Amino acid sequence: MSCRSKLAELLPFYAAGSLGEEERRAVAAHLAACADCRAELAFWQEVASAVAAEDRLLPAPSPVLVDRALVGAQRRRASPFVRAWVLLAAQVPLVRREIWSASALVMALGCLIAILQGGSASASIIEAVAPVVAAAGLAMLYGPESDPGLELALATPTSPRQVLLARLVVVYGYDLILGVAASVGVLAVVPAGLLGQLILGWLAPMAFLSALALVLSMVIGTGNAITAALMLWLARGLASGLRMGTMGPPAAPEAAFVAALQAYAGLWQSTGLLFALAAALLAVAVALAGQGERLVAQKA
Ligand SMILES: [Zn+2]
């Protein structure tokens, strides 16, 4: 993209017809004056019509036609930065649409409850909600259940591992922005602490829980993965209640159980360990996507 205008970033939305009247007019005026953007728009119109055509044929869009458009684009522009950007942007219409609205809705509800609660409780509500939102989003990210076109996509030049990573960046980035926006919003109304502290409170648990949900979704399916992640997260809430001593001292036979729960609660507070585990789980997810690739290659 050689055009430096901010409006160039709106071209995919202009092509998809999803801009408001004011932005649409601004882009149209810029297009009349900018040949770079006209060429760029032609590409996005190709992508938009490929997605629309696919939409009429399948219950969910398949990446195949988009990939075909991408190959054309890659031939025109060799820059790896542009290729990465196009691959990322192409995932936006391809991931399950409810991820965007459902995540924002749950996060907004969390904010509302946090603001109504007030005091120090509002921070812990955001800390409790943000990781769950990301985990549910990543559980819906990838796999035959979420993506009827995936098997076909495996035959295209974009490898499943690249598709997985691109979707991961897009959806996880979206969840990070939602989490930061929620933290800023709540602290603006309820001055319950420092912004950095609040963000650090959910950042590592979010990375671990959502990476775990992604791997689980590839093994046991999206619905089961969301349930499992939610149970683990609720157990953490109960265990940290124990840890802070809100329940009385245990009798001897229960001591081992309580120690285990306390260790479990401790795990969720070990930032470094959580990030390390999240990275390991992402490596597993990429390996699983690569395995799917090989299985299909063997079948062919
Ligand atoms: Zn331009």
Q: Tell me the pLDDT tens digit for each residue of 255-290.
A: 777 788 888 888 888 999 999 999 999 999 988 887
pLDDT of 207: 94
- Ligand 1: centre distance to CA 27 (Å): 9
**How far is residue 298 from each of residues 82, 129, 152, measured CA to CA in Å?**
32, 42, 15
Return the axis-axis angle of helices 160-189 and 121-139, rounded to nearest 10°. 160
Q: Cα of 32 to ligand 1 centre, how many Å?
A: 9
What's the confidence (pLDDT) of residue 53?
62
Q: Are 183 and 111 in contact (CB under 8 A)?
A: no
CA–CA dist 205, 285 (Å, integer): 18
What would the DSSP string read from start to end of 122-143?
HHHHHHHHHHHHHHHHHHTSSS
Q: What is the pLDDT of residue 77?
A: 47
| Other Cβ atoms within 10 Å of 75 Cβ, number | 8
Report how far ligand 1's centroid is from the alpha carbon of 174 (Å).
26
- How many Å apart are CA 114 and CA 191, to the nearest integer? 11
Cα of 25 from ligand 1 centre, angstroms: 14
Query: Out of 46-50, 91-95, 200-204, 255-259, which region has the weakest mean confidence (pLDDT)?
Result: 91-95
Cα 22 to ligand 1 centroid, rounded to whole Å:
17
Grade residue 141 by pLDDT with cuts at 50, 70 and 90: confident
Each residue of 153-164: pLDDT tens digit? Answer: 545 556 777 778
d(CA 146, CA 217): 10
CA of 38 to the centre of ligand 1 (A): 8
Judged on CB neighbours under 10 Å (0-12, 13-18, 19+), 259 is exposed
Q: How many angstroms separate the alpha carbon of residue 35 from the centre of ligand 1?
A: 7
Q: Give me the pLDDT at residue 61, please.
A: 44
Question: How far does residue 4's CA lie from ligand 1's centre (Å)?
Answer: 7
Per-residue confidence (pLDDT) for residue 209, from 0 to 100: 94
Residue-wise burial string across 36-49, b where 16 or more C-beta atoms lie within 10 A, e elsewhere: ebeebbebbbbbbe
Residue of higher predicted confidence among 249 and 254: 254
Give the burial class of 5: count Cβ atoms within 10 A of its Cβ; 0-12 exposed, 13-18 middle, 19 or more buried. middle
C-alpha distances out from residue 62 to 12, 32, 56, 65, 96, Å: 18, 33, 11, 7, 11
Distance between Cα 23 and ligand 1 center (Å) = 14
pLDDT classification of 242: cutoffs 50, 70, 90? low
Q: 232 C-alpha vs ligand 1 centroid, how far in Å?
A: 49
Highest mean pLDDT, choosing among 5-19, 116-130, 211-225: 211-225
Q: Which of the four pLDDT bands, split at 50, 70 and 90, describes residue 25? A: very high
> Where does residue 241 fall: left (phi above 0), alpha (psi -120 to 50 degrees), or beta otherwise?
alpha
